[in-house]
Chains A and B, each alone.
Chain A
């Protein structure tokens, strides 16, 4: 196997990592503010995939329109999720573990509602690009993967600007540190949390459309949120750049293991590595919030 093979596998790994990073960013955003692992993010991804499918396939609108529609739809779903799943827990200052349980329940609920509405038949997005593959000599880069990578980086930059350079971001960071003190200082913590869920839902919307385009659509597409969780753990729970680094590390390790050991035991090794990370460096590569994980 020559150099071309290894470079192609590197491209495959980065392509996969871009998909994981999309999932991980939205997952990490909620964790950074509310300090719990929101597994309902998967449900939001699934719903957004169907929203994007409706706009792209049924209405025949292009990728950009579908992304915007899914982002808005996902954002609204995020607010609904907070209302039904977490608002009362927040009001009662419930332990973090309750948020975790509620998120899993809501995620399953969303996917099962989709199953009732659409069954588990597979659907597919229409092709968006005239040239679906970029050829670089013997190497191949899927156009969609390149777009996903670019979008992921752009989203991260926009998010970091919002969080670091705007009043909204300041409010989000303040609520993340201590929501009670933030309230005493005149910040409406509930509103900020809702906005955070809207942002996370929008990210889920974008992820849903890209996942649907890259693979096929079914109600359980959002189960890929597990990859987002693992990426966040590796990169550091609570860190947005860490989540992206973790996503790419995860995908590259997966591809490397597939090449070396085959795909059968690769998932087991990945989970062992994840557990090892939690034991040795629980804050991950760049994580900050390690005491109150849920």
Chain B
């Protein structure tokens, strides 16, 4: 009997290996968002400038099935839209630009695996996600693989090696960093909301959240605001009432809650359930599906950061295209993907060898100046690999649950 069991087990194990080897690659083809087929024109000699022939492969790593999948899918749409626009305008010096997207599933290990896979497949540059938890581990890998990674991983450690203080050579951030965004919200809280005391509640296991909490605290304290308490919780925690009650006991004018959307939604609901009536001050993830997750709880006295005005400037065109194709209201993440591709394309058009990833990274570092993107023009600081002069909006929700932009603010840094 035992022998039969062992034989069966061995057969099962062999079957697993065979199936794994024969299974088709997941996420190997360019990921399509609904309606994307219409946005991606069929390649033709005239449309894509195939006269010179050839393809340039870039990669994209996004969360397509994890907690930030809503944002990840919008970023992917923006990436594919940018690639389509570039190819429609003649490609990169006559070559067609092609993108392959992999799903990091909000898992750093998956993100690193995806980066390595894309490098092995010949990607000359890679678009990254708006996830610091993914960007930070890839930073060290990128030094080894030397393929530029352009994304919205806002934690400073994704662009600066915190041990050496030197910039990571192949990591580029295309939106204001965590420190800058925290400063914007802190400045707004002090000057516009007039808060004199504040509490902070964040997920200590989340690099992105921690990278907001620290700079926010530093800034408000430098302006004479009392930080009445800093409370944390772990990755799997869902009940924050004890922490919120602790903060409420000190009666702060506001509570800063800068986490991912699901956590922010739970914290917001629980704070209001406990009777907290002060300001809830947030980061840039109070976007869809936030209003769905807090259904039943009025959204009041909540201010948060919102990167772009979706209905003006360069962003307007892709916003309208997204509404028409997908039939939904977009968040700024569609512009993130678009911007990253434009920064990469700017380098690809001007380097002497589009297969030399070191040259491409060097060009991005030193020559990303006033590059036209969906977010406006972007100039990267060669010293920090972060944008210069890029601000963001502060927003709230109106009575109908629509995002209302209050004002545009630049960081002091």
Which residues from chain A sit less than 8 Å from chain B, CB to CB?
1-2, 5, 8-9, 12-13, 15-16, 19, 115, 119-124, 126-127, 132-133, 135, 138, 140, 142, 214-216, 218, 223-224, 254-255, 258-259, 262-264, 267
Does chain A have a CB within 8 A of B242?
yes
A-B pairs, top 10 by smallest CB distance, nearest first, are: A127-B296, A258-B242, A12-B241, A215-B238, A122-B262, A119-B65, A255-B242, A5-B249, A124-B293, A263-B233
Does chain A have a CB within 8 A of B406?
no
* Stretch with Cβ within 8 A of A (4 or more), from B66-74, B124-132, B353-361: B66-74
Q: How far is the CA of A255 from the CA of B244 in the complex (A)?
A: 11
Q: Given known contacts A216-B266, A259-B246, A267-B234, is B274 in contact with A8 (CB within 8 Å)?
A: yes
> Which of B243, B245, B293 is the one whose CB lies under 8 Å from A216?
B293
Count of B residues near A, CB < 8 Å?
Answer: 36
> Which of B67, B245, B262, B295 is the one whose CB lies under 8 Å from A8?
B245
- Name the distance in Å between B40's Cβ and chain A's nearest Cβ: 23
Are A120 and B66 interface neighbours, CB within 8 A?
yes
- Name the distance in Å between B368's Cβ and chain A's nearest Cβ: 33
> Which of B66, B204, B242, B274 is the one whose CB lies under 8 Å from A254?
B242
Residues of A within 8 A of B69 (CB): 119-121
Q: Given known contacts A124-B295, A216-B293, is B234 in contact with A16 (CB within 8 Å)?
A: no
Are B262 and A262 interface neighbours, CB within 8 A?
no
- Name the distance in Å between A42's Cβ and chain B's nearest Cβ: 12
25 examples of A-B residue contacts, CB within 8 angstroms:
A9-B242, A12-B239, A15-B239, A115-B65, A120-B106, A122-B261, A122-B262, A122-B265, A124-B293, A126-B296, A127-B295, A127-B297, A132-B296, A138-B275, A215-B239, A223-B236, A224-B238, A258-B243, A258-B246, A263-B204, A263-B232, A263-B233, A263-B242, A264-B204, A264-B234
Are B293 and A122 interface neighbours, CB within 8 A?
yes
- Name the distance in Å between A240's Cβ and chain B's nearest Cβ: 24
- Name the distance in Å between A148's Cβ and chain B's nearest Cβ: 12
Are A262 and B231 interface neighbours, CB within 8 A?
yes
Does chain A have a CB within 8 A of B54?
no
Residue of A nearest to B201 (CB): A263
Are B266 and A15 interface neighbours, CB within 8 A?
no
Q: Given known contacts A12-B241, A132-B296, is B231 in contact with A263 (CB within 8 Å)?
A: yes
Residue of B nearest to A139 (CB): B275
Does chain A have a CB within 8 A of B407?
no
Residues of B within 8 A of A264 (CB): 204, 232, 234
Residues of B within 8 A of A224 (CB): 238
> Which of B246, B273, B292 is the one whose CB lies under 8 Å from A124?
B292
Q: Given known contacts A119-B65, A121-B69, A216-B293, is B245 in contact with A5 (CB within 8 Å)?
A: yes
Q: Given known contacts A124-B295, A218-B67, is B273 in contact with A133 (CB within 8 Å)?
A: yes
Q: How far is the CA of A160 from the CA of B274 in the complex (A)?
A: 34
Residues of B within 8 A of A142 (CB): 273
Q: How far is the CA of A259 from the CA of B289 in the complex (A)?
A: 31
Residues of B within 8 A of A133 (CB): 273, 275
- Name the distance in Å between A256's Cβ and chain B's nearest Cβ: 9
Are B232 and A122 interface neighbours, CB within 8 A?
no
Residues of A within 8 A of B231 (CB): 258, 262-263
Scan B290-326; emit 1 where CB is below 8 A from any A CB, else 0.
Answer: 0011111100000000000000000000000000000
Q: Given known contacts A126-B295, A223-B236, A259-B242, is B266 in contact with A120 (CB within 8 Å)?
A: no
Does chain A have a CB within 8 A of B385?
no
For the A-B complex with A120-B67, A124-B294, A223-B236 known, give 7 more contacts whose Cβ atoms are closer than 8 Å. A12-B242, A19-B239, A119-B69, A124-B265, A127-B297, A259-B242, A263-B204
> Which of A121, A123, A223, A263 is the one whose CB lies under 8 Å from B243?
A263
Residues of A within 8 A of B239 (CB): 12, 15-16, 19, 214-215
Residue of B nearest to A223 (CB): B236
- Name the distance in Å between A82's Cβ and chain B's nearest Cβ: 21
Residue of B nearest to A124 (CB): B293
Residues of B within 8 A of A135 (CB): 275
Q: How far is the CA of A216 from the CA of B260 in the complex (A)?
A: 13
Are A121 and B67 interface neighbours, CB within 8 A?
yes
Residue of A nearest to B70 (CB): A121
Q: How far is the CA of A142 from the CA of B231 in the complex (A)?
A: 21
Residues of A within 8 A of B292 (CB): 123-124
Residue of B nearest to A143 (CB): B273
Residue of A1, A12, A122, A124 with most partner-chain B CB within 10 A:
A122
Does chain A have a CB within 8 A of B105?
yes
Q: How far is the CA of A5 from the CA of B241 in the complex (A)?
A: 12
Residues of B within 8 A of A8 (CB): 245, 274
- Name the distance in Å between A136's Cβ and chain B's nearest Cβ: 11
Residues of A within 8 A of B232 (CB): 262-264
- Name the distance in Å between A230's Cβ and chain B's nearest Cβ: 13
Are A122 and B67 interface neighbours, CB within 8 A?
yes
Does chain A have a CB within 8 A of B22?
no
Residues of A within 8 A of B106 (CB): 120
